[in-house]
Structure 1
Amino acid sequence: MTDDEREVHIEVRELTMAFGSNVIQRDLSFPVYRGDIFVIMGGSGCGKSTLLKHMLGLLEPAAGEILYTGTSFTHASSEVRDAMRRSWGITYQSGGLFSAMTLEQNISLPLQLYTDYTAAQIRDVVRYKLSLVGLGGFESYYPSEISGGMNKRAALARAIALDPQILFFDEPSAGLDPISSRLLDDLILQLTESIGATVVMVTHELPSIFAIANNSVYLDASTRTMIGYGDPKQLREHSEEAVVRQFLTRSADAGETG
């Protein structure tokens, strides 16, 4: 299926991100297609996490807009924005679990807020979601009682509690060893295929990028705009921009570039 035949799920249109007079990125325009695993990538300080925050509505653009299924999120009312957000699942670098809550309580929270499920139905959903991420039987554990990789998986269980259409990840593999990171990549791939979600992910981890991503945008810190878009494997081999090819062919021990 060609891009012309695919449904645009998210569209970033002529977006400029700035803090006062300090422009972070300008003139960003690209689609994210339904079902993509889409990576926002680039060197240190290029604005990857800032773009994610704009897509989530945590920051407002200096110019341009972001659309979801053809509807402008940027220009929508707070009520429409809230309704759109209910079809999203979000995980943060730290996992973002509430430390004073058990895993069951953490994952129950969105179900209590946004559904009319009974307590028994919520328990059933929580157990099912935890089993999907390999944490069946850990309902009563607190985040401090499990490993970092398990915390990431529990955060993913909470993110998929409402069967979202879009999943957002901010450096999902940060702080994990290579084996745990690969297991998390495999889990993300399996879950997104099973629930049919579109994924938008900020990461600098090349193994993750090449293992699961099929689309991407490269943000350049020096020109303050995008200089690459498409399948990262294709960009690695055929990008006309040397900086993009260098980023995608750097050695694994080249250090943090986020």
Structure 2
Amino acid sequence: MINGIVEAQNLTMTYGSNLIQANLNFTINRGDVFVIMGGSGCGKSTLLKHMIGLFQPAEGDILFQGQSYFSATSEKQLEMRKRWGVTYQGGALFSDKSLAENIALPLEQYTSLGRRSIRELARYKLSLVGLAGFEDYYPSQISGGMAKRAGLARAIALDPEILFFDEPSAGLDPLSARRLDELILQLRDSTGATIVIVTHELASIFAIGNNGVYLDAETKTQLDTGSPSDMLNHSRHNTVRAFLSRGEYSGESAKGAEPQPLHADRRAGV
């Protein structure tokens, strides 16, 4: 029985003999905005790289719709990757290509569409992320926030079932970060894609996350999984509750009143 669109089963990650995380077990359901969270150096981006097949697990497995990526044939792995979209911190755009040409790359590689159809589809994808009219601009001619949105347009070029984000709000001002959060939710709702996001931004975690996993750098394993609000209010681990409350949870509330999520204005840093 397939319990979710993505499942980590007893996953252990290492760099050589250096253990990063061990015994990770979580399920990502279709339509989730799943947040990979934890302190600096806990292995959040490393987990994302395992999930998109860049790194091989030391132990355990990751299943996509019930099938292991790592034990699949190379042909099947390619079919899986076509159903994923990946965005990177800086957008990872090719500087010598226009925005439309950047978005066209996966369409040229993985579809049989003609040049005109690809151009029209690239224009449409850019319009979905608020960049209509910027088709012929180059990455050097746009802002950092616009570059992130252009990277997102390229990630959705093939209508992926799963979108992976690595620190999408990094380097953005609070207003731009909030707009990007809203865009991510809009794309989830309009395309039906499942979202997996690495972030340490509490504003984003509470604004868009409905499921997630907390990785602990000290114990080198997950401490909790579930919705961020449930983890804040009900986690058995003080470390998790302190992280999600910016340290305002001291552990004493376990004996009394439960800590509550931060107010929206405080989460946004304004």
Pairwise same-fold verdict (TM > 0.5) = yes
1:77 matches 2:73: yes
Partner of 1:68: 64
Q: Structure 2 CA distance, aligned partners of 1:168 and 1:24?
A: 20
Given residue 35 of structure 2, which amino acid in structure 1 is its aligned partner?
V
CA positional deviation for 1:120: 1.1
1:110 matches 2:106: yes
Partner of 1:87: 83
Partner of 1:148: 144
CA RMSD of aligned residues (A): 1.4
**1:95 touches 1:151 (CA, 8 Å); kept in 2?**
yes
Partner of 1:137: 133
CA positional deviation for 1:124: 1.1
Aligned residue runs from structure 1 range 13-92, under 5 A:
13-92=9-88
Q: Structure 2 CA distance, aligned partners of 1:249 and 1:160?
A: 33
Deviations 1:135-194 (A, max 9, x none): 100000001100111111111110101100000000000000000000000000001110
Q: Structure 2 CA distance, aligned partners of 1:67 and 1:8?
A: 9
TM-score, normalisation: structure 1: 0.94
Describe the SS at the equivalent of 1:117. Answer: coil
1:231 matches 2:220: no
Q: Structure 1 CA distance, aligned partners of 2:16 and 2:132?
A: 48
Q: Structure 2 CA distance, aligned partners of 1:133 and 1:53?
A: 25
CA positional deviation for 1:74: 1.7
Aligned with residue 195 of structure 1, among 187, 191, 195: 191
- Aligned-pair identity in percent equals 61
In structure 1, runs of 5+ residues without a counterpart are 254-258
CA positional deviation for 1:7: 5.0
Q: Structure 2 CA distance, aligned partners of 1:62 and 1:156?
A: 31
Deviations 1:205-251 (A, max 9, x none): 00001000100000011111000100001111111100000000007
Given residue 127 of structure 2, which amino acid in structure 1 is its aligned partner?
S
In structure 2, runs of 5+ residues without a counterpart are 248-265
Larger Rg: 2
Given residue 100 of structure 1, which amino acid in structure 2 is its aligned partner?
D
Given residue 234 of structure 2, which amino acid in structure 1 is its aligned partner?
H
Deviations 1:61-87 (A, max 9, x none): 110010000011121122211110000
TM-score, normalisation: structure 2: 0.90
Partner of 1:173: 169
Stretches (4+) displaced over 4 A: none
1:209 matches 2:199: no
Describe the SS at the equivalent of 1:8. Answer: coil
Q: Structure 2 CA distance, aligned partners of 1:241 and 1:187?
A: 32
**2:10 touches 2:23 (CA, 8 Å); kept in 1?**
yes
Given residue 224 of structure 1, which amino acid in structure 2 is its aligned partner?
K
Partner of 1:256: none
